[in-house]
Amino acid sequence: MKKLIKSIAFFFLAGSVFIFQGCKPKGPQEAVVGNAASKVYVAPGKYDEFYNVVSGGFNGQMAIYGIPSGRLFRILPVFSQFPENGYGYSEETKPMLNTSHGYVPWDDLHHIALSQTNGEHDGRWAFGNANNTPRVARVSLRTFKTEEILELPNSGGNHSSPFITENSEYIVAGTRFSVPIGENRDVPISTYKENFKGTISFIKIDPQSGHMSIGFQLKTPGVNFDLSRAGKGPSHGWFFFSCYNTEQAYTLLEVNASQKDKDFIMAVNWKKAEEYIAQGKGVKVKAKYAHNLLDEKTHTATSEMMTEVLQLDPTILKDIIYFIPCPKSPHGCDTDPSGEYIVASGKLAALIPVFSFAKIQKAIADKDFEGEFAGIPVIKYESALHGEVKKTGLGPLHTEFDEKGNAYTSFFVSSEIVKWNVKTLEVLDRVHTYYSIGHLSVPGGSTRKPHGKYVIAYNKITKDRYLPTGPELTQSAQLYDISGDKMQLLLDFPTTGEPHYAEAIPASLIMPNSVKIFKIEENNHPYVAKGEKETKVVRKGNEVHVSMTAIRSHLVPDNIEGIKLGDVVYFHVTNLEQDWDVPHGFAIKGAANAEILVMPGETQTLKWVPDEVGVSPFYCTDFCSALHQEMSGYARVSPAGSNVPIKFSTGVIAPEGKGTAK
Amino acid sequence: MYKNQKHMKYLIFIGIAAMTLACAPDKPKNQEQYPDQPTKSAVEDIIADPTKGIGAVKKVTLKTPLEQERVGRGLAIFEMKCSACHRLTTERVVGPGWKDVTKRRQPEWVMNMITNVDVMLDKDPEAQKLFELCLVRMPNQNVSIGDARDILEFMRQNDGAK
């Protein structure tokens, strides 16, 4: 008998081990099949098929990868200082990080939106959001430089951003946290319901220059906005946002914002909002926010403080917004390529509701509402619903699409991507990710013209994927082939920061326009030296401005005297090279402001406040030629009040015995 | 057993064959990987007239007297893009001094050197001699052919042409 029990116990134990292993994602070494390596191998000298523009999350940057190789090409500084190229350190780039709170050196970049024309990627700009101090940035895909940053007033954190309309008319910025706005903001936190408001900013994009300005701002009931997508095709003119915390909780949101069975998808008719503005129904309110712009010709950014914003109140101006109930704290809110279906993912749900734009329109026309929430009509769930995808997985987050009518949804809790058919709502395939996937990306997967071929998983947990590097690890992404019926794992690749959303775009849309140099003839920097003849050292009070040139392999001037303790020295370094990939760097001993890197034809400025009398060496920090080590010079610093005159030269050798200090 | 052994031998043979094939270096397809290298016709041009260098400039007509507008523009380009490395005397700094360059070289050679420097340094024997002397590759300064013609006119003036 005992034996029997023992054997039964053993049986169960073995069984549970088996089941346990069955639940855990198997290592990709088991999931990878034969020809995976050849599908991601990009031979030396060959190029990747897609650019992958990936958000850096808490590093505040964007990163550029090649797909299918997964190789990292560049990290682009956006909302954070970047020691690699002096962004946020050089005098020219410091204004880019200016805000109404002053200089913010580090933020959190979550989402990417690539510019579109006719619902397709056009390869002009990449936009990114700053989640913490609310801002949106525009990066040029010609120069891969951050060209513009616009701050957002009346926002408590910019999360549902920067999603874009199909002709890049607008990108949106929805507040993550509702906060008191307006004149009186010193209110008890417990007055959330009456005093806290959300805002959604519609940022206008100038079609030629790309310049951003806040077109208008919608004042909404106090909830949390999470993610959003523009309508496309038939639903162009509308925008959809996921909302959570419709409980209007202000403490322990983990519990108190998860009480209701359903939160909302908010549908915004922005064409209607434009009509109200045309009728003069917008209200200008005071606001303080920074608008920072880089001039490509002066290579210099400027920061302007804006003073007002145009607001619309949809509780008064009807027909701008509607709520649609959506199960369990919705996160992702994605429109399919046809523009007819809106896929919403309740983080805590096990099913995915798919709404129909046509049905939403009919429900609005028929006033098929279940009531109001804070003065906004709430459409009946069933009236807006196309259907539910059942038995999917746990914790659906985000959905991307292919060109064949399929959707790919990421599941954080169950670590998988589920492929399903948008029309039939039938689950077709599922693959594990390693581990705990957040966002995912199909090339063109958010546009009217997806390119299919791959889906990339951006995971939150790395654990054992790579050789360990202590407690702090890189992030992990996986690439899957989706060209066949079954998704096939091809590649694991590490990513920097913590990627949230990313977009992938065919290389052919970007590569031909990539700038190689800045033309020295077009450089309008106020301290440019277009040739060594224009180099100079000029004293203005206690400021000393050095207009310096760099070319392989010397700096002009390379002997500078007449600097005194108490001076502030600006080295304006112009790179005279006009050849691709010949940057020069500049550093001087004791500079508290790091170094700079100067691209061909560009001028960048390093500020130096000498703190000791003596001679400080400076040098080029970018290995540029065989004589790079010789590319250096000296700056002499004399005591305050001394009468050493300003003097500068290169290649001048004093006669014997006359070079001594006076 | 015998059968298995035979299979083994067969497998080893395939394995070695595969390894050999895999290890054999591919012949680089230069034209595909280095699109900047000269096309066949450009190489033929060297043989046709080695004194004119390699590049798009085939024939230059010089006028007397000097075209003063070109001289002025050439000087401005010299100061912006060339003077960092070239003196107007015979003194060599980073690159050779310009004095008498128009007497030593054909005008086509000078303009090809300015506008097609990477190919010249890789293929033209005279350019290669200068590279061995100076040890710094002359940079591509993104000078158009029209601008190079202006520089040439300025060089002629520097060499005493009227």
pLDDT surpassing 50 at residue A125: yes
Which of B80, B142, B143 is nearest residue A530 as measured by Cβ atoms?
Answer: B80
Task: Give A31's pLDDT tier (boundaries 50, 70, 90).
Answer: low
- The CA distance from B78 to the nearest CA of chain A, in Å, is 8
Query: What is the sign of the dihedral through the CA atoms of A611, A617, A618 and A619?
Result: negative
Choose the weakest-confidence range: A346-350, A467-471, B133-137.
Answer: A346-350
SS (H, E, C) A291-345: EEEEECCCCEEEEEEEEEEEEECCCCCCCCEEEEEEECCEEEEEECCCCCEEEEE
* Closest residue on chain B to A518 (Cα): B142
Of the partner residues A530, A579, A626, the one whose CB lies closest to the CB of residue B139? A579
Q: For residue B143, what is the nearest residue in chain A, using CA coordinates?
A: A578
Q: Which one of A547, A577, A623 makes the best mutation probe of the B interface by having the most chain B beta carbons within 10 Å? A: A577
Residue B81 to residue A553, Cβ atoms within 8 A? no
Q: Stretch A472-495: mean pLDDT, rounded?
A: 96
Helix (H) or strand (E) holding B153: helix B145-158
Whether A299 and A228 share a structural domain: yes
Size of interface A-B (CB pairs under 8 A): 55
Residue A314 domain-assigned (yes or no): yes
Question: pLDDT confidence of A7, banded at 50, 70, 90?
Answer: low
Tens-digit pLDDT profile for residues A69-92: 999 999 999 999 999 999 999 999
- Average pLDDT rounded to a whole number, residues A417-422: 97
Would you say residue A661 has pLDDT above 90?
Answer: no
Give yes or no for residue A519 having a pLDDT over 90: yes
Contact criterion met (CB < 8 Å) for B94 and A552? yes
Instruction: Read off the pLDDT of residues B41-77 as tens digits, 9 standing for 90 and up.
Output: 444 444 557 899 999 999 999 999 999 999 999 999 9
Using a CB-CB cut-off of 8 Å, the residues of chain A touching B115 are: none
* DSSP percent split of chain B into helix, strand, coil, nearest 5: 60, 0, 40
* Distance in angstroms (rounded) separating the CA atoms of residues B19 and A80: 48
How far is B146 from chain A, CA to nearest CA, in Å? 15
Question: Which of A38, A515, A579, A582 is the best mutation test for B, with the most CBs of B within 10 A?
Answer: A579
**Does A338 reside within a domain?**
yes
Answer whether residue A316 shows pLDDT above 90. Answer: yes
**Considering only CB atoms, which chain A residues are within 8 Å of B94?**
552-554
Distance CA A392, CA A409 (A): 9
d(CA A393, CA A433): 13
Residue A3 clears pLDDT 80, i.e. is over it? no
Q: Are residues A282 and A155 in the same domain?
A: yes
Is A576's CB within 8 Å of B142's CB?
no
Same domain, A142 and A171: yes
Question: Phi and psi for B72 in degrees, rounded to 5?
Answer: -65, -45
The predicted structure's pLDDT at residue A6: 52
Q: Which residues of A touch B138 (CB under 8 A)?
A: none
Among A87, A44, A40, which Cα is nearest to A62's? A87
Mean pLDDT for all residues in chain A: 93
Same domain, A502 and A587: no
What is d(CA A350, CA A390) in angstroms, rounded to the nearest whole number? 7
Q: Determine the distance in angstroms separating the CA of B126 from the nearest CA of chain A, rounded to an integer.
A: 21
Contact of A517 with chain B, judged by CB distance below 8 Å, is answered with: yes
Q: Which CATH number do you get for residue A634?
A: 2.60.40.420
Cα–Cα nearest to A309, from A99, A172, A154 = A154
User: Where does the pLDDT of residue B8 fall: very low under 50, low under 70, confident under 90, or very high at 90 and above?
Assistant: very low
B79 touches chain A (CB under 8 A): yes
A578·B137 Cβ contact <8 A = no
Of A521, A532, A626, the CB nearest to B136: A626
Annotate B14-28 with three-state secondary structure.
HHHHHHHHHHCCCCC
pLDDT exceeds 70 at position A607? yes
Q: What is the reported pLDDT for A553?
A: 87
Cβ distance A549 to B84 less than 8 Å, yes or no, reads yes
Preferred mutation among B89, B119, B136, B142 to probe A, highest tally of A CBs within 10 A = B142
For the cut 50, the answer to whether the pLDDT of residue A603 exceeds it is yes
A504 found inside a domain = yes
Task: Look at the alpha carbons of B72, B77, B80, B82 in this order and tell me if their dihedral is positive or negative.
Answer: negative
- DSSP run (H or E) holding B107: helix B107-115
* Three-state SS at A51: strand
CB contact under 8 A, B33 and A576: no
Beta-carbon neighbour count of residue A201 at 10 Å? 27
Same domain, A365 and A493: yes
Q: Looking at the structure, do residues A488 and A572 belong to the same domain, yes or no? A: no
CB contact under 8 A, B85 and A551: yes
Cβ-count burial of B79 within 10 angstroms (0-12 exposed, 13-18 middle, 19+ buried)? middle
Q: Looking at residues A7-18, what average pLDDT do you find?
A: 45
Task: Answer whether A552 sits within 8 Å of B136, measured CB to CB.
Answer: yes
pLDDT single digits (tens) A571-598:
999 999 999 999 999 999 999 988 999 9
| Interchain pair B84, A520: CB under 8 A | no
Q: Do B93 and A651 touch (CB under 8 A)?
A: yes
B83 touches chain A (CB under 8 A): yes
Look at residue A22 and tell me if it is in a domain.
no
How distant is the Cα of A308 from the closest Cα of chain B, in angstroms?
45
Among chain A residues, CA nearest to B137: A625
Checking if the pLDDT of A528 tops 80, the result is yes
CB-based contact (8 Å) between B33 and chain A?
yes
The Cα of B2 is separated from the nearest Cα of chain A by a number of Å equal to: 31
CB-CB neighbours of A178 under 10 Å? 25
CATH number at residue A379: 2.130.10.10
A576 touches chain B (CB under 8 A): yes
State the CB neighbour count (10 A cutoff) for residue A595: 21
pLDDT at B23 over 80: no
Give the Cα separation of A41 and A44 in Å (integer): 9
Residue A349: its pLDDT value, please?
80
- A530 touching chain B per CB within 8 A: yes
- Asked if A323 and A418 sit in the same domain, the reply is yes
Dihedral angle, C-alpha A132, A176, A239, A377, nearest 10 °: -160
Q: Compute the distance between CA of residue A635 and CA of residue A640 in angstroms, rounded to an integer.
A: 15
Residues A543 and A486 reside in one and the same domain: no
Could you tell me the pTM of the whole model? 0.88
In this structure, are residues A107 and A56 in contact, taking their beta carbons and an 8 Å threshold?
no
pLDDT in tens, A221-247: 999 999 999 999 999 999 999 999 999
- The model's confidence at residue A260, banded by pLDDT at 50, 70 and 90, is confident
A556–B33: do the CB atoms touch at under 8 Å? no
Of B33, B93, B139, the CB nearest to A552: B139
- Judged against a pLDDT cut of 50, whether residue B96 lies above it is answered with yes
Which residue does chain A place closest to B77, by CA atoms? A531
Q: Answer yes or no: do B142 and A626 touch at CB < 8 A.
A: no
Q: Does B88 touch chain A (CB under 8 A)?
A: no
**Structure-token pair, residue A373:** 């929430």
How many other CB atoms are there within 10 angstroms of residue A298's CB atom?
A: 16
The SS3 of residue B41 is helix
Residues 615 through 644 of chain A touching chain B, CB cutoff 8 Å: 625-627
pLDDT for res A134: 98
Q: Best residue in B26, B75, B80 to probe A by mutation, most A CBs within 10 Å? A: B80
- The yes-or-no verdict on residue A8 having pLDDT over 60 is no
Residue A48: pLDDT over 70: yes
Residue A521 included in any domain: no
- The residue among A486, A403, A410 whose CA lies nearest residue A444 is A403
What is the Cα–Cα distance from A263 to A378, expressed in whole angstroms?
11
Best residue in A518, A625, A653 for a mutation probing chain B (most B CBs within 10 Å): A625
Stated as kind and residue range, the H or E segment containing A16 is helix A2-23
Q: Return d(Cα A646, Cα A195) in angstroms, integer.
A: 61
- Whether A560 is covered by a domain: the verdict is yes
Judged by a CB distance cut-off of 8 A, whether residue A578 touches chain B is yes
CA geometry: angle A473, A475, A476, nearest 5 deg: 125
Does a structural domain hold residue A17?
Answer: no
**Domains of chain B, CATH where assigned:** 39-158 (1.10.760.10)
Q: Quick check: A440 and A434 in contact, CB under 8 A?
A: no
Give φ, ψ of A261 to 5 degrees: -70, -30
Is the distance from CB of A621 to CB of A571 less than 8 angstroms?
A: no
Candidate from B79, B135, B141 with C-beta closest to A578: B141
For residue A38 the two structure tokens come to 């050849």
Q: Inter-chain contact B79–A519, Cβ cutoff 8 Å?
A: no
Mark which of A481, A513, A545 sits at the end of a domain: A513
> For residue A509, is pLDDT > 80?
yes
Tally the domains of chain A: 2
DSSP sequence for A71-136: -EEEEEESSS-BTTTTBTTSTTTGGGGEETTEE-----EEEEEEEEETTEEEEEEEEEEETTTTEE
**Among residues A459, A478, A513, which one ends one of the domains?**
A513
Enter the tokens of residue A239: 């925008």
Is the same domain home to A501 and A531?
Answer: no
Q: Taking CB atoms and an 8 Å limit, are B139 and A582 in contact across chains?
A: yes
Is A263 within the bounds of a domain?
yes
Please tell me the predicted confidence (pLDDT) of residue A142.
98
pLDDT of residue A254: 87
Based on the fold, state whether residues A71 and A139 are members of the same structural domain: yes
Partner A contacted by B37 (CB < 8 A): no
Whether residues A217 and A363 fall in one domain: yes
pLDDT of residue B48: 59
What span, in angstroms and rounded, lies between the C-alpha atoms of B104 and B126? 11
Cβ neighbours for A507, distance < 8 A, ≥ 6 positions apart: A47, A48, A49, A50, A51, A66
Q: Three-state SS for A363? A: helix
Percent residues over pLDDT 70 in chain A: 94
Domain end marker among A513, A539, A573: A513
In 3D, which of A158, A152, A89, A93 has the Cα closest to residue A129? A158
Q: Which domain holds residue A399?
A: 51-117+125-204+213-513
Among residues B85, B87, B99, the alpha carbon closest in space to that of B141 is found at: B85
pLDDT at position A256: 85
| Same-domain check for residues A197 and A232 | yes
